[in-house]
C-alpha cells in the first residue's frame, strides 16, 4: 500500500484495544489449579529457564530466562512447571472468543494477546469506549480466572503502549490528544517495533525517548528510516496506519527447527545427527500441515554464536526426512569445519507447496515417492499411538541418544496426551528405523 493510501485510512478516528494476559502461562496454570493461586509459579521447566512467572514469583525477584537453580535459591517455595502449550492455546481461544462477542474485528496477535477494533460500538451498546473496554476486561477476568491488561487508543502502536502502562490488571486510555504525555518519559526502545538496533541509531541522533522520536520532522523520518519505522512514527502522532490482520492464518511461510546442545561439539557425526533430528521434527510439522518444502536451509551455530548457513532446492516438494537428510549431506560437509565447535543446528523449510500438487516427473520417481508416502503414513500413525520419535532415522541416532541422556522433554506435552510417560517405556519403544535406500 502506498503511503498516501495509508494516510487516507487514518482520516477518521478509531478505537483500538490491545488486550494482554498478565503473566499468561503462569496464570493459566494458576487458573487450572486453584491450589497454585497466590503462590509463586514459574513455567519453563523443560528449558531449564523461566519462560513465564506469576506476580508472586516476580515479587521474589524472578525474571525471564532466569535459570531454575537461581530461581529456587531466590524463591524456595516456588512451583516450577513444564510448559503446556495445549492448555495455553485453549485459554487463548477463549480469550479471542470473549472479545469477539463485541466485534469480529479481532487480530489474534499472540497466544496471550490480541487487538480489537471497537470503533462505532458506542451507540449500539450505549456505552463509552472506555466502558466497553471495562466490560470486556471484567468478562475476561472472571471467565478465565486471571487478570488482563487493556489499552485503548487510536491505533495499534499506542494501544500497545497503553496496555503496558499499568500492569497487572490495568485499563489505560490514551486519547489522541494525550499521546505525547505518555511518550514523554518512555524510552524509545519500549515502543513496539523499535528494537535494539534502531534505538542505538536513534541515540546517535540524540533521541532517547519515544516523545523525541515522535517529534522528529516527517521529512527526516522518511529520509532516515525504512517504511515500518515511518509507520510507527505516524501512529505515535495519532494517525491510524497499521490495519488489524483479521484473517486466520491458515498456512505458514516457513517451518524452522533448532536445537542447542551442551557442551558444544566438533564431532561431525554427532552434529549431523542433531541436524538430522531437526529435519525429522520439521518434517513432522510439515506433514501435519500437509505441506511439502522445495527449499531447505541448514544452519550451524558455533560455540561463539556465529551462524553459517547453506541452502538447497529440491526438484519437488518434500516432507520426508530421508530425502531431505540425504540432500543435506553435501552442503553440511562443506559447511562443517572440524576445527570449530558447534552449539546448535537448525533447519528451515520454505517454498511450500501443498502435498497434493506433488507431481514427480518420472515414473520411477513417483513409485519411490509413493513408497515414502506410505512409509511416513505408517511412521505418523506409530507416532500418534506411541509418541513422537518412536521411530526415527538412523542418521539421527546420536541425537536421540543425547536427548534421552539429557532428559530433553521438548516434546513432552504431546506425549503426555498420548498416555505415555517417563523414559523407560520410551526407551523400550525406541526402535531405530534405518531407512537407507527404500526403492
Partner DNA sequence: TCTGGGGTCCTAGGACCC
- Under rule CB under 7 A, residue 302 binds DNA: no
DSSP code string of 58-113: HHTT--TT-BHHHHHHH-TT-EEE---HHHHHHHHHHHHHHHHTT-S-EEEEETTE
Interactions with DNA, residue window 100-139 (CB under 7 A): 109-113
- Under rule CB under 7 A, residue 226 binds DNA: yes
Contact residue for DNA among 193, 243, 264, 331 (CB under 7 A):
193
Interactions with DNA, residue window 266-285 (CB under 7 A): 281, 285
Q: Which is nearer to DNA, 251 or 427 (CB)?
A: 251
- Under rule CB under 7 A, residue 239 binds DNA: no
Contact residue for DNA among 59, 65, 367, 431 (CB under 7 A):
65
Contact residue for DNA among 257, 277, 388, 400 (CB under 7 A):
257
Closest CA to 108 of 284, 246, 263: 246
- Under rule CB under 7 A, residue 336 binds DNA: no
- Under rule CB under 7 A, residue 198 binds DNA: yes
Contacts 24+ apart (CB under 8 A), 260-267: 260/301, 260/343, 260/344, 261/343, 261/344, 261/402, 261/406, 262/343, 263/341, 264/302, 264/303, 264/341, 264/342, 264/343, 265/341, 265/342, 266/338, 266/339, 266/340, 266/341, 266/342
Q: Which helix (H) or strand (E) holds 431?
A: strand 431-433
Mark residues 362-401: x for contact with DNA by CB under 7 A, - for none. ----------------------------------------
Smallest gap from Cβ 294 to DNA, in A, equals 9
Contact residue for DNA among 7, 9, 51, 373 (CB under 7 A):
51
- Under rule CB under 7 A, residue 96 binds DNA: no
Q: Which is nearer to DNA, 100 or 295 (CB)?
A: 295
For residues 320 and 367, the answer to whether their CB atoms sit within 8 Å is no
Taking CA 46 as the corner, what is the angle to CA 44 and CA 51, rounded to the nearest 5 degrees?
15
- Under rule CB under 7 A, residue 311 binds DNA: yes
Closest CA to 152 of 13, 52, 308: 13
Mark residues 138-177: x for contact with DNA by CB under 7 A, - for none. ----------------------x-----------------
Q: Which is nearer to DNA, 169 or 302 (CB)?
A: 302
- Under rule CB under 7 A, residue 39 binds DNA: no
Smallest gap from Cβ 311 to DNA, in A, equals 5
For residues 387 and 331, the answer to whether their CB atoms sit within 8 Å is no
Of 29, 107, 113, 235, the active-site residue reads 113
Q: Which is nearer to DNA, 357 or 439 (CB)?
A: 357
Q: Which is nearer to DNA, 308 or 366 (CB)?
A: 308
- Under rule CB under 7 A, residue 246 binds DNA: no
Closest CA to 302 of 355, 346, 340: 340
- Under rule CB under 7 A, residue 59 binds DNA: no
Label residues 111-141 b or e (16+ Cβ within 10 Å = b): bbbbbbbbbebeeeeeeebeebbeebbeebe
Half-sphere exposure of 232 (CA within 13 A, CB side): 22
- Under rule CB under 7 A, residue 199 binds DNA: yes
- Is 107 annotated as catalytic? no
Instruction: Using the structure block, give the residue that is written with the C-alpha cell 516523545.
Output: 211
- Under rule CB under 7 A, residue 417 binds DNA: no
Q: How many CB atoms lie within 10 A of CB 269?
A: 12
Closest CA to 213 of 240, 239, 241, 194: 194
- Under rule CB under 7 A, residue 217 binds DNA: no
Q: Which is nearer to DNA, 3 or 378 (CB)?
A: 3
Rounded to the nearest angstrom, the gap between the alpha carbon of residue 4 and the centroid of all alpha carbons in its chain is: 32
Closest CA to 15 of 170, 240, 181, 177: 240
Contact residue for DNA among 119, 212, 256, 265 (CB under 7 A):
256
- Under rule CB under 7 A, residue 354 binds DNA: no
Question: Which positions are catalytic?
Answer: 113
Residues that bind DNA (CB under 7 A): 47, 49, 51, 65, 109-113, 160, 191-199, 226-228, 249, 252-260, 281, 285, 295, 304-305, 309, 311, 313, 344, 346, 410
Amino acid at each position: 500500500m502506498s503511503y498516501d493510501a495509508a494516510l487516507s485510512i487514518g482520516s477518521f478516528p478509531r478505537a483500538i484495544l490491545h488486550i494482554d494476559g498478565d503473566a499468561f502461562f503462569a496464570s493459566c496454570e494458576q487458573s487450572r489449579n486453584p491450589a497454585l493461586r497466590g503462590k509463586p509459579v514459574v513455567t519453563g521447566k523443560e528449558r531449564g529457564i523461566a519462560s513465564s512467572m506469576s506476580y508472586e514469583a516476580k515479587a521474589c525477584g524472578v525474571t525471564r530466562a532466569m535459570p531454575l537453580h537461581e530461581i529456587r535459591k531466590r524463591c524456595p517455595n516456588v512451583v516450577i512447571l513444564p510448559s503446556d502449550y495445549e492448555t495455553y492455546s485453549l485459554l487463548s481461544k477463549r480469550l479471542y472468543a470473549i472479545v469477539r462477542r463485541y466485534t469480529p474485528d479481532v487480530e489474534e496477535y499472540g497466544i496471550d494477546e490480541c487487538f480489537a477494533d471497537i470503533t462505532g460500538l458506542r451507540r449500539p451498546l450505549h456505552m463509552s469506549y472506555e466502558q466497553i473496554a471495562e466490560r470486556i476486561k471484567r468478562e475476561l477476568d472472571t471467565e478465565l480466572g486471571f487478570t488482563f491488561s487493556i489499552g485503548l487508543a487510536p491505533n495499534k502502536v499506542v494501544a500497545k503502549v497503553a496496555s503496558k502502562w499499568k500492569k497487572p490488571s490495568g485499563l489505560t486510555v490514551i486519547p489522541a490528544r494525550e499521546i505525547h504525555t505518555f511518550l514523554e518519559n518512555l524510552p524509545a526502545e519500549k515502543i513496539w517495533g523499535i528494537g535494539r538496533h534502531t534505538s542505538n541509531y536513534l541515540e546517535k541522533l540524540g533521541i532517547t525517548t519515544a516523545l523525541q522520536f515522535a517529534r522528529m520532522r516527517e521529512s527526516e523520518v522518511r529520509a532516515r528510516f525504512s517504511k515500518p519505522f515511518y509507520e510507527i512514527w505516524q501512529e505515535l502522532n495519532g494517525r491510524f496506519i497499521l490495519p488489524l490482520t483479521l484473517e486466520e492464518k491458515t498456512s505458514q511461510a516457513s517451518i524452522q527447527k533448532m536445537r542447542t546442545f551442551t557442551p558444544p561439539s566438533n564431532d561431525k557425526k554427532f552434529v549431523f545427527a542433531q541436524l538430522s533430528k531437526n529435519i525429522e521434527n520439521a518434517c513432522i510439522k510439515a506433514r501435519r500441515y500437509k505441506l511439502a518444502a522445495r527449499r531447505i536451509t541448514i544452519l550451524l551455530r558455533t560455540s561463539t554464536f556465529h551462524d553459517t548457513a547453506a541452502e538447497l532446492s529440491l526438484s519437488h516438494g518434500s516432507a520426508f526426512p530421508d530425502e531431505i537428510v540425504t540432500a543435506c549431506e553435501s552442503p553440511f560437509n562443506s559447511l562443517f569445519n572440524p576445527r570449530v565447535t558447534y552449539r546448535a543446528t537448525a533447519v528451515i523449510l520454505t517454498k511450500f507447496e501443498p502435498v497434493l500438487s506433488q507431481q514427480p516427473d518420472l515414473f520411477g520417481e513417483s513409485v519411490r515417492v509413493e513408497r515414502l508416502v506410505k512409509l511416513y503414513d505408517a511412521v505418523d500413525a506409530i507416532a500418534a499411538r506411541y509418541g513422537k520419535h518412536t521411530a526415527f532415522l538412523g542418521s539421527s541416532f546420536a541425537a536421540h541418544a543425547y536427548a534421552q541422556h539429557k532428559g530433553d522433554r521438548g516434546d513432552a506435552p504431546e506425549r503426555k496426551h498420548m498416555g505415555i510417560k517417563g523414559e523407560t517405556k520410551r526407551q523400550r519403544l525406541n526402535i531405530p528405523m534405518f531407512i537407507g535406500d527404500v526403492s
